[in-house]
Structure 1
């Protein structure tokens, strides 16, 4: 699933002006009227001025004289229909700013039309909604203002997904270990690796020791290798691993609960990631406080038929 925003405002060059409708062809007699003598004289005079201005500009560039260049620009400004370089640059910058303002106004209008939720209404819209909205998991929650730019969002989203995927594995593996490890280890003749009291091993309950009197343990090298492998997999591929091509999958009727344009699978993944991170944190706190396995403290959540 892609990490990019589903709807993001990215600055871009101003759009080309709208094409004007073509005018109906006028009669041949009206298209080519006979030029008047005065018009010919005016055209010749304008042509002479243009030649003089061009010659002065070339001479100014060749000699590097600022005075000559100013004279050339002044002469060019006298010719009707000829735009000075400064005026052209100013006009292009003004048009680009107006086009960018119009695009941002459309962006804000589309965002407000969805009426997206705000986790803390008294804080107002989070900062990231100034440049993106309606991304997966967008509940309007960023009270610390961590995401200030699009690159911040991409980095934080990748970190959230990586930690969340580890947490989903741990949220399932933790109670399974407490339920089945002892019996399987006894049956297969392996040592029991659970922490005292039958708890899943962790750093806080003493089941995992990363260092001893001799230095780093084998467990610390194992965890470093796992984290390194996960980092390599996450950064090796542009797209997330999706062999079943489930990115566009959506359950019938359920996807209508989300705002329009939001991916159901991306939303489901980020929601499960957040729930799993909260669950694993609760496992650790509960077992440190009670010194008993979570499968014993909350048997209604974990049973032998888990």
Structure 2
């Protein structure tokens, strides 16, 4: 079982998928200024909801789901294409982090027993931690596996590009046309609620996976052993 390696391969690919130059995403009709309205009057002087002691960034007017005016480092940029590009990058990182934050502890809990049952070598490190740049162990993963993951990522990106072109200015950042269980609402209001839930969960997941990485790098033991109350409540 190599679930832990799968998790980290997603983490490695996330910067590539999220921030690699993408001509379609930056020139699509979905990025036209008619998606957002220039603030006028008192709105120009509105304070940030997240940081009420400073003015909200000009482009963060609440149009995007999960927008509370938090951008202390100015990553959103000064134009609409940059803002939408960065939002799409954030969503991709969120989704990868949500997969990773589940896959990391599951691998540490079940990789070894499943591998032993099947007569296969475990993909975990000697301490039982998920393989990573800081933990080591990535050399145990077959190169064919990395090629397969990279190919899958490429397919997802191609499908995403098709959706952008098909929907034009109705395109929503992060929309890959993937909803096999038909969970996405039909009304615009309900859609924004669902998008807000996803972005909030994703942001928490990014913080959580960063915590896993830092904790294991610092203490050199698996996170499931360091805080067993969260991962072994019934074992």
- Tell me the TM-score normalised to structure 2 length: 0.68
Q: 1:149 aligns with which of 75, 79, 82?
A: 79
Give the conservation status (yes or no) of the 8 Å contact 1:164–1:274: yes
| Structure 1 residues 278 and 249, CA gap change in structure 2 (3 angstroms) | farther
Q: Which residue of 2 aligns with 1:121?
A: 52
C-alpha separation in 2, matches of 1:196 and 1:249: 49
CA shift, 1:164, in A, is 1.1
C-alpha separation in 1, matches of 2:49 and 2:134: 36
Q: 1:246 aligns with which of 174, 183, 200?
A: 183
Give the conservation status (yes or no) of the 8 Å contact 1:125–1:140: yes
CA shift, 1:243, in A, is 2.9
Q: Which residue of 1 aligns with 2:106?
A: 176
C-alpha separation in 1, matches of 2:103 and 2:88: 23
| Structure 1 residues 220 and 305, CA gap change in structure 2 (3 angstroms) | same
CA shift, 1:261, in A, is 8.3
Deviations 1:90-125 (A, max 9, x none): xxxxxxxxxxxxxx54xx56x69xx88522233311
Q: Cα RMSD (Å) of the superposition?
A: 3.3
The structure with more helix, counted as a fraction of residues: 2
Matches within 5 A, 1:1-306: 8-9=36-37, 105=40, 118-129=49-60, 132-147=61-76, 148-209=78-139, 217-218=143-144, 220-238=146-164, 239-240=175-176, 241-248=178-185, 263-303=192-232, 305=234
CA shift, 1:133, in A, is 2.4
Q: Determine helix, strand or coil for the equivalent of 1:285.
A: helix
Runs of 4 or more above 3 Å deviation: 3-7, 216-227
Q: How many pairs were matched up?
A: 191
| Structure 1 residues 207 and 226, CA gap change in structure 2 (3 angstroms) | farther
Q: Gaps spanning 5+ residues in structure 2: where? A: 1-29, 165-174
- Tell me the TM-score normalised to structure 1 length: 0.54
Q: Gaps spanning 5+ residues in structure 1: where? A: 11-103, 211-215, 251-259
C-alpha separation in 2, matches of 1:217 and 1:248: 40
